[in-house]
Amino acid sequence: MPSDPSGVSPKGTLIRPPADFFDDHLAVGSFFLQFTGGPNNSNFCTVALFNNANTGVVFKVYGISAVNDGGSGMGAFWFYGPLGALYAPCQPIRPDLGAPFGQIWQQTTLANVPAAPNPYFTPPYVNLIGVSGFDSNTILSPFPLFIVPVGWSLVLTNVTASADLGAGFWYQQANE
Distances in whole angstroms, Cα of residue 44 to Cα of each of 34, 166, 168: 12, 10, 16
pTM (global) more than 0.85: no
Confidence of residue 11 (pLDDT cuts 50, 70, 90): low
Asked whether the predicted pLDDT for residue 8 surpasses 70, the reply is no
Residue 58: predicted pLDDT: 95
Confidence of residue 74 (pLDDT cuts 50, 70, 90): confident
Give the three-class secondary structure for 77: strand
Instruction: Give the up-direction half-sphere exposure of residue 124: CA atoms within 13 A in the CB hemisphere.
Output: 2
The rounded distance, in Å, linking the Cα atoms of 17 and 26 is: 14
Asked whether the predicted pLDDT for residue 164 surpasses 70, the reply is yes
Confidence of residue 114 (pLDDT cuts 50, 70, 90): low
Query: What is the domain partition of the chain in residue ranges?
Result: 40-175
The rounded distance, in Å, linking the Cα atoms of 150 and 75 is: 21
